[in-house]
A and B are shown apart, each in its own frame.
Chain A
Amino acid sequence: MIRTALQILVMFSVAILLAALQATSPPYAMLTGPIRTTGQQRETVSSQTFSVKVRRVLKAKTIGFAQFGKRSQLQTSGVWMVVSAEVQAFQETMPVRAATLVGSSGRLYRQSRRAGAAANILSAKVVQPGLPTTGIFVFELPDDETGDMKLILSEQYDPQLKDEISVSLEANGMIAQNELEIGKDGV
């Protein structure tokens, strides 16, 4: 009788142990996720493979740029955010294709392909080690998302076991204007 009770007890405790192990084991997607580095806007944020220094954060209702020799102006139902930054690669030639702005609600806004033809877009460039490269990232988001933002950069979108840098942007460091002209040298 005692033996049966003991057996049941052992079985239950083993089941509970296994369930706990299963519930706490990190998923594959997390294990192979990005290697995160975080920092502030005023400092240069460095990871193992690249670093970023955010220079200016601009907010505008419309943006204009030259496209195929013709001037094009883009409107939005929200606002345009243009971030100019300097990127350095440490180990090898690499692009920084993925730029995402995390809005104040936590939603992820990838850089806008509508402004993809503007000059000096950083994600269209290739960064050579030892040569600091400057450029801009253009985002489109609702106005109420621009309070407390984070810029996330990586080589590609959804990096796996690669560096990802997150920079908190200062709300008071933002320059707001009605119309922003993106010239040959960016903003």
Chain B
Amino acid sequence: MIRNKGKTWLTRLVAGAGGLLAAALSLGYSLYEQRESDLVRQVQANTSLEAGRWKVLVTGSRVSASTPDGLQISKGKRAILVNMILENISAESSNLYGTLIRIANMPDVPRPQYYLVRDRAILWDLQPRMPELVVAVWEFPETSQLPDVLKLQVEGERFKPRDNLYSAPGWFPAGAVATMSLPLKRDIADRAP
């Protein structure tokens, strides 16, 4: 009888300790994940970054009234131009660089248009292993406040040989790779908003 009672007690103790251990592990893991996602590498401009499908080296940024193909931006707007060297390090030609770089310290950021410096024209596909000088252009209304220091975030991508839906190969978002701050040079004077 006494022996049986001891066994019950031991079972309860083990079950309780196991439960507590599981809860602690789960809490610790979620805390660790939270911390990891908050820790994004800070880099200087002119640092070569690998972001899954792309290798990018941002060289500078400026405000301009014209796009790299020589056309004037429509009235009431101005553009932020970011110069970079972009290389496709995947195995396939691709034009999916639109979400690679994000302006982090401005609200309501539109999608950028990329230009190829070599042709002074809109950039289409980037061929693998052929780095090119490109310019990303974001257009903003003239009334919006532009910061003096631009904060850019480089978004990574991860390759999956088999995705979960069709078990087809593909690239999927993998969170931020790095952030950088670079001074925003002004070609044109600020007008009062």
Interface of A toward B, CB cutoff 8 Å: 27-29, 74-78, 100, 106-110, 112-114, 116, 140-142, 145
Chain B residues contacting A116 (CB-CB under 8 Å) are 124
Please tell me if the beta carbons of B168 and A29 are within 8 angstroms of each other in the complex: yes
Please tell me if the beta carbons of A109 and B167 are within 8 angstroms of each other in the complex: no
Please tell me if the beta carbons of B119 and A114 are within 8 angstroms of each other in the complex: yes
Interface of B toward A, CB cutoff 8 Å: 91-93, 116, 118-119, 121, 124-125, 127-132, 162, 166-169
Residue from A100, A108, A112 having most chain B Cβ neighbours under 10 A: A108
Closest to A114 in B: B119
Please tell me if the beta carbons of A142 and B93 are within 8 angstroms of each other in the complex: no
Nearest CB of chain B from residue A68's CB, rounded to whole Å: 13
Chain A residues contacting B116 (CB-CB under 8 Å) are 114
Nearest CB of chain B from residue A32's CB, rounded to whole Å: 8
Residue from A74, A100, A109 having most chain B Cβ neighbours under 10 A: A109
Chain A residues contacting B167 (CB-CB under 8 Å) are 27-29
Chain B residues contacting A74 (CB-CB under 8 Å) are 119
Chain B residues contacting A110 (CB-CB under 8 Å) are 92-93, 125, 127
Answer whether A108 and B93 are a contact pair too, CB < 8 Å, given A77-B131, A141-B127: yes
Nearest CB of chain B from residue A151's CB, rounded to whole Å: 14
Please tell me if the beta carbons of B168 and A27 are within 8 angstroms of each other in the complex: yes
Nearest CB of chain B from residue A7's CB, rounded to whole Å: 26
Please tell me if the beta carbons of B128 and A109 are within 8 angstroms of each other in the complex: yes
Residue from A75, A110, A112 having most chain B Cβ neighbours under 10 A: A110
Give the interface SS of chain A, mostly helix, strand, loop or mixed. Answer: mixed
Please tell me if the beta carbons of B91 and A112 are within 8 angstroms of each other in the complex: no
Give me 20 A-to-B residue pairs in the complex whose CB atoms sit less than 8 angstroms apart, sorted by A's number.
Answer: A27-B162, A29-B166, A29-B167, A29-B168, A74-B119, A75-B118, A78-B127, A106-B91, A107-B128, A108-B91, A109-B128, A110-B125, A112-B125, A114-B116, A114-B119, A114-B121, A114-B124, A141-B130, A142-B129, A145-B129
**How far is it, in angstroms, between the C-alpha of A140 and the C-alpha of B167 when the chains are bound?**
31
Chain B residues contacting A27 (CB-CB under 8 Å) are 162, 166-168
Nearest CB of chain A from residue B132's CB, rounded to whole Å: 7
Chain A residues contacting B91 (CB-CB under 8 Å) are 106-108
Closest to A72 in B: B119
Please tell me if the beta carbons of A107 and B162 are within 8 angstroms of each other in the complex: no
Chain A residues contacting B127 (CB-CB under 8 Å) are 78, 109-110, 112, 140-141
**How far is it, in angstroms, between the C-alpha of A28 and the C-alpha of B127 when the chains are bound?**
28
Closest to A142 in B: B129
Nearest CB of chain A from residue B68's CB, rounded to whole Å: 15
Chain A residues contacting B125 (CB-CB under 8 Å) are 110, 112-113
